[in-house]
Structure 1
Amino acid sequence: MSVVQVRFVQKAIDERFSDVIDLSDKQGLPEAKRREHFLTRGLAALARQIEQPCTNLVAAESVFDGADDKGIDAISVDRTLGTPRIRLYQAKWSDRAKAGFGEAEVHKLIEGLELILDLEFSAFNRRFQRHVPDLDAAFDDPNGTPKITLVLALVRVEALSAGVRSLLEKKIAQFNQVEEMVDYEILDLKDFHRAILGDTAAPKINIPLRLEGFGQEVHPYKALYGTVTVPDIASLYSKYRRGLFARNIRGSLDATDVNVKIRNTLLTEAQHFWYFSNGITMLCQSIKPAGKAVLGGVGDFQLSGVSVVNGAQTVSAIHKAYEADPSAAERGRVLVRLISLEDCPPGFGDKVTTNTNTQNPVEERDFKSLDKAQIFLRDCFATALSLSYVVKRGEPIPDPEHGTSITEVAEALAATHADAVYAATAKRELADIWRDDVYKELFDEEPDVVVVWRKVQLLRAVRSKLAEMREGLVGRAAAMASYGDLLVTHVVYSQLDTDSVGDPDADWSGQTSKVPHIAELSFDWSLYAIDAEYGASSHIIAAVRNSERIQRVVKAAIRGIQSGTKPAKLRTDYRVTGVDDRGGRQVDAVKTLVALNRIPDGTVLEFRPATRAERRDMATWLSEDEKRSTATWSNDARSPLIWHFDGQRYSPSGLVRKMRKLASGKEIAVAGTLHWHIPSEGSLRDLADNARVERGLAVGDED
């Protein structure tokens, strides 16, 4: 039977993607091999459509499988549901429904994830680059750091081996030490088959269900409600998985904040779960008694045509928690509503689904907006400063010169608190700021409005400086400029004379004028401290969000600044602007490669933007003509690149300067050898450095 289902999925891939999947990099392969690559890429595109519905063309363009895919076949970025969500897809095709996914694939997938978290986008191939603007926007989103789901799209029917699952979960756990940021999902043959069929594939789920303390509604339509145990709900999910959510609008969204909190509640205080959960709503084609049922007591029922229309996250989280620790979660119970559609008018089930999924949840921040400290601040901003202070969600945020909001103030107070732990808390999960213990630490009952406003202005000044610096930064340094705003602000504030911060008559401008210089020093020393304390391959995002790490980094950075020096060995490849072929290492790299004949004549190279500024200024221009981002190598030490766009010869940096000028009108000196890549081998700089190492020379030495 599985072979028949494979053919069905294959037919769908052919129909949807035969004209839009890019196989230009597989032209020389035998037809059978090209067919295999097409099906794998089509499967990745199909997975993308399942996870985030889109047109066939958009799904196909999500795929970048090939050289320098770093273990990831496709990507999608979703910023429509508050916190951004990034999905990374790895697809495995098998005509016999036995697609393999082993430890090697886990390691490759995690390598790609690490590169994305460190904003090392230039490590990926040319087709990946079209998605970088969306990634930049996701990582800069004011709603917080993106949640990332690893989607394994596998044409197989058997479960992954326990060893592979264990390794995958162990690797993912390294990213979730501070908070659950990364999750994974498996789409197997059954999922693909069901998704292609759509509503007609929704399984007819007929189940027995026991309700404790059950009650009922009779008019105008029949409904039951009562308590169900966590093991019973977990068993349902294990058996039916996505089939339970056939009519649900959003599915189960495994890595959302709500889902994580649900799981944590079950694992830490399962006995309270019934009180903390909103419960689950199920639509049923019919509900029949299946034995004795005592109103207010225990009732056994037989349900037919069951679908969870609200509470999909709750169901999924219950399953995850029960799978992780059955002994802790089994005491949990959850409220369940069963609505029978037997005597309902047409379309009533759809109305239930829509209405139960579109009510705005109340957040902890909403309660804090009623706190007297916030009312006091709002009034003081208006009367003392003639500025607006927005407290409630949904109200328009004023322009920076006209005021601020409760969220920005909370971030500023967290960043400038004497204990860097609060900067980590705000960066880790902004919602945690509104927890009573954190909130009371940040906000006095009658906050000093002058101090608050000046701290907001300080945070803005630091962010402005980091944004300016990020224009010429790559890799870990760019990640630091993106994630490290609260850490750097904390260090900067520690270096200012804050004795008069609350004096409205004091010349505070004398302190703020120092901010750009101190911010740059703080950035350099903080990055140096992270590299020194945790290694140059450690995750920047972990250092700024982990309470213990941020404290160690802050102490080291402050010591460094107070020494009156600059870091001795901050990596030179963190910056790409301000250098070109006329300066040292760039000339050496080309000379080395030509002297060793390291690259054969005729090799095609790809241009990959290295900085955020280049991605912003050049993305559209590059997409207009593929020839703009490719060049051919010739072993000429002066002008080794023949640009496909005009057929002329250039040095690597000279060509990048010209491209930047044509794309944006800006003429900036850059390290061109960092921008030109040979797929699967690395940048010209990487190749030259490796060649020097092989010859026993130090990286960057003259040849």
Structure 2
Amino acid sequence: MSVVQVRYVQRAIEERFKGLIDLSDVETQPAGKQHEHFLTRGLAALARQSEQPCTNQVAANSVFDGSDDKGLDAVSVERTATGTVIRLYQAKWSDKGKGQFGEAEVHKMIEGLELILDLEFSAFNRRFQRHVPEIESAFEDPNGTPKIILVLALLRVEPLSSGVRTLLEKKIAQFNQVEEMVDYELLDLRDFHRTTLGDAASPKINASLRLEGFGQEVSPYKALYGTVTVPHVAELYSKHRRGLFARNIRASLDTSDVNVKIRGTLLNEARHFWYFSNGITMLCESIKPAGKAVPGGVGDFQLSGVSVVNGAQTVSAIHKAYEADPTAAEHGRVLVRLISLEDCPPGFGDQVTINTNTQNPVEDRDFKSLNAIQTTLRDAFATELSLSYVLKRGEPLPDPEHGTSITEVAEALAATHPDATYAAVAKKDLKDVWHDDVYQQLFGEEPDVLVVWRKVKLLRAVRARLSDLQEGLLGRANAMAVYGDLLITHVTFSQLATSNLSDPKFDWDEQIRKVATVAQNAFEWSLYAIDAEYSISSHIIAAVRNPERIQRVARVAIKGVSDGGEPPRLRTDYQPVTAEDRGRQVDAVRTLVQSGRIPDGTLLEFRPATRSERRVMSGWLAEDEKRSLASWRNDPRNPLTWHYDGQDYSPSGLVRKMRTIATGKGVNVRGTLYWHVPNEGSLKDLAENVRTERDVEAGEDD
């Protein structure tokens, strides 16, 4: 590769994204520097298109590189049949094809990832804010926590240094102690070259392949099949990379949990890999024997114009596993099909590609839907409660008042099980509840339909209460309300009268009416328990999905609620401050003005603080960037000049004005929490820093 290939990529970026990439934050810089920013941001947008095809405008809008990007340059959210994938991109441009990515970049990316997992969205700049509602929705998906892929978009051909790769994998492993939630991918100059030029980017792939125990089909078209060793497949990918997948339906690899399981099998049970894998299908323009080849034995073949059309996940996972631990993975073998297109009719290759990629995978849940326990439960819902119970995937879900589904029931039973471990299992990945041992614990031999329905109603009531609470929560508290629904349902259930749950005459609705109060107490005690047991810097998501941690937290929370004392008060940084703290609001502005901490003319960004504000204001803010911007003036009464109308306001007065315009309803808030100086913090943070510095200086004088 050379600077010639770099120019192809640069030309593609300029043709696709000129005038679409936001450069307003660097418009005062020299033209050459601005163009460098454009190319870096354009590379991030190109990576987004490579991973998840979209229009040029959508790709450009995904970029938020700049001040307060927290080591990330772009984001995309993709909902697939196997779950939701959030991709976080970091791009490094180089005119010479030597984009640098070192340990400092690893630490920055991980910092950004941690903020996103903790739902600390206001730490990011205004261009990131437009994506928050979609990211937030992904984390609230009842089907499980999304997979997160860190995409390194590096204009280089050299691999990552061993030190950088080791550090990156070590940092990622910290998030994967419960399950494989985070992974990374590398896009380099070869990948971008192919993305921009398609099949013209490189000559067709010719490769040799050894098939063990091979067989063949001769009619109506020629095909071979047999076993290939893992080292051979890994070498094939290492040499040709994504060029192998030129004919695949998707431009990028599917990053579902299947990929993770493939790697896990190779590293832990390599000799069983052939039995557990669905194999790989390759199309070839021609297949020629490279020596003597007798069916049933070992045959060497020369493949011309080869492309993997099914099993891209398997190929990439084999490469990554072999790269991570060749000693463990080298004993693995995989079934490979080779289909020759030499004598096939036009379009047959496309038919193979489409049909091998559109078969619906069978999941454990599908088998359980045929289980006698489930069909009996379905009939009981219909005959005893006149309600619908949906078993199979793809069937329309009933309105909440008219019934439920097998997945919602599984969540409710997991949350209300005496052992909090099952709440963690269901929260980690709902697919795991269909494993025989977990399934038996939750459903038993013959579940009572009335008990099941009442537990579903409890789960819904708790979730409704948490949704209400979210409107006024920040940071970790907001994360607790999002991730902690099953844990809080578990704690709440322990406080209700449940001994007569199967009695039709028992007034369960009376218990449900207590949920608003009990669930809030359970929420506050659970959050307190996580902070006390694991510190305020721990991840909420880890506490509710780790069996050991959730048991400890549940014990503390249940004891706290049961003792009947006042629940611990939420920390002030867990909730937005309202008009009750007007004195502190005025003092913060006065502190900043008197100290001269912020120079006149400094640009400030508005960032919504709560889920409610993001939901009602994100669209309105995105319509005109001036709505999110203000300039600072050292005036103690009205220090903000709003770019949208040119008028001067106090921080709270301007937030109230914006809410009124956007929603028709103003609210009293602490405005210094919402206005941020990029790369420095909110007005509230800056005022607190000034006070701290002043106190330190006073102490030194004493």
TM-score (norm 1): 0.97
Amino acid paired to 2:244: L
1:622 aligns with 2:611: no
Identity over the aligned pairs, expressed in percent?
Answer: 75
What does residue 686 of structure 2 align with?
A: 687
1:250 aligns with 2:250: yes
Deviations 1:362-407 (A, max 9, x none): 1110000011110111011111111000111111110000000000
Amino acid paired to 1:34: Q
Deviations 1:563-597 (A, max 9, x none): 333454631121116x1375343233222212222
Residue aligned with 1:291, SS? coil
Q: In 2, distance between residues paired with 1:232 and 1:386?
A: 59
Q: In 2, distance between residues paired with 1:159 and 1:634?
A: 49
Q: In 2, distance between residues paired with 1:174 and 1:582?
A: 39
What does residue 700 of structure 2 align with?
A: none
Q: In 1, distance between residues paired with 2:521 and 2:6?
A: 58
Amino acid paired to 2:463: R
User: After the TM superposition, which residues 393-542 of structure 1 pair with which residues of structure 2 at under 5 Å, given as runs?
Assistant: 393-542=393-542
What does residue 357 of structure 2 align with?
A: 357
1:583 aligns with 2:559: no
Residue aligned with 2:636, SS? coil
Indicate if the aligned counterparts of 1:181 and 1:255 stay in contact, CA closer than 8 A. Answer: no
Indicate if the aligned counterparts of 1:102 and 1:164 stay in contact, CA closer than 8 A. Answer: yes
Q: In 1, distance between residues paired with 2:203 and 2:399?
A: 52
Amino acid paired to 2:684: R
Q: In 1, distance between residues paired with 2:527 and 2:330?
A: 45
Residue aligned with 1:127, SS? helix
Query: Across the two proteins, how many residue pairs are aligned to each other?
Result: 697
1:376 aligns with 2:376: yes
User: After the TM superposition, which residues 12-23 of structure 1 pair with which residues of structure 2 at under 5 Å, given as runs?
Assistant: 12-23=12-23
Indicate if the aligned counterparts of 1:580 and 1:653 stay in contact, CA closer than 8 A. Answer: no
Q: CA deviation at 1:264?
A: 1.7
Q: CA deviation at 1:556?
A: 1.4
What does residue 633 of structure 1 align with?
A: 632
Deviates more, 1:391-400 or 1:30-39: 30-39
Q: In 2, distance between residues paired with 1:663 and 1:697?
A: 42
What does residue 44 of structure 2 align with?
A: 44
Deviates more, 1:561-570 or 1:609-618: 561-570
1:194 aligns with 2:194: yes
Deviates more, 1:255-264 or 1:336-345: 255-264
Amino acid paired to 2:268: T
Q: CA deviation at 1:647?
A: 2.7
Q: In 1, distance between residues paired with 2:334 and 2:556?
A: 48
Deviations 1:93-125 (A, max 9, x none): 111111111111111111111111111111111
What does residue 324 of structure 1 align with?
A: 324
Indicate if the aligned counterparts of 2:281 and 2:309 stay in contact, CA closer than 8 A. Answer: yes
What does residue 561 of structure 1 align with?
A: 561
Residue aligned with 1:292, SS? coil
Q: In 2, distance between residues paired with 1:585 and 1:284?
A: 72
Q: CA deviation at 1:250?
A: 2.6
Deviations 1:226-255 (A, max 9, x none): 111112111111211111111111356363
Deviations 1:528-559 (A, max 9, x none): 11112112121111111111111111111122
Q: In 1, distance between residues paired with 2:567 and 2:510?
A: 26
Indicate if the aligned counterparts of 2:653 and 2:671 stay in contact, CA closer than 8 A. Answer: yes
Indicate if the aligned counterparts of 1:673 and 1:683 stay in contact, CA closer than 8 A. Answer: yes
Amino acid paired to 1:503: D
User: After the TM superposition, which residues 163-174 of structure 1 pair with which residues of structure 2 at under 5 Å, given as runs?
Assistant: 163-174=163-174
Q: In 2, distance between residues paired with 1:390 and 1:199?
A: 46
Please list every run of 5 or more consecutive structure 2 residues that lacks an aligned counterpart in the other structure: 698-702
Dislocated runs of 4+, deviation >4 Å? none
Amino acid paired to 2:162: A
1:656 aligns with 2:630: no
Q: In 1, distance between residues paired with 2:508 and 2:292?
A: 77
What does residue 701 of structure 1 align with?
A: none
What does residue 235 of structure 1 align with?
A: 235
Deviates more, 1:219-228 or 1:28-37: 28-37
What does residue 99 of structure 2 align with?
A: 99
Residue aligned with 1:64, SS? coil
TM-score (norm 2): 0.97
Q: In 1, distance between residues paired with 2:450 and 2:112?
A: 46
Deviations 1:310-360 (A, max 9, x none): 011111111222222222222221111100001111111011000100011
Q: In 1, distance between residues paired with 2:357 and 2:480?
A: 37
Deviations 1:134-185 (A, max 9, x none): 1122112233211111111111121111111111111111111111111111
Q: In 2, distance between residues paired with 1:438 and 1:111?
A: 35
Deviates more, 1:356-365 or 1:657-666: 657-666
Q: How well do the aligned residues superpose, as a CA RMSD in angstroms?
A: 1.6
Q: In 1, distance between residues paired with 2:294 and 2:668?
A: 80
Indicate if the aligned counterparts of 2:51 and 2:252 stay in contact, CA closer than 8 A. Answer: no
Indicate if the aligned counterparts of 1:202 and 1:246 stay in contact, CA closer than 8 A. Answer: no
Q: In 2, distance between residues paired with 1:641 and 1:186?
A: 43
What does residue 148 of structure 1 align with?
A: 148
1:176 aligns with 2:166: no
Q: In 1, distance between residues paired with 2:26 and 2:622?
A: 21
Residue aligned with 1:211, SS? strand
Please list every run of 5 or more consecutive structure 1 residues that lacks an aligned counterpart in the other structure: 699-703
User: After the TM superposition, which residues 238-387 of structure 1 pair with which residues of structure 2 at under 5 Å, given as runs?
Assistant: 238-250=238-250, 253=253, 255-387=255-387
Q: In 2, distance between residues paired with 1:360 and 1:520?
A: 41
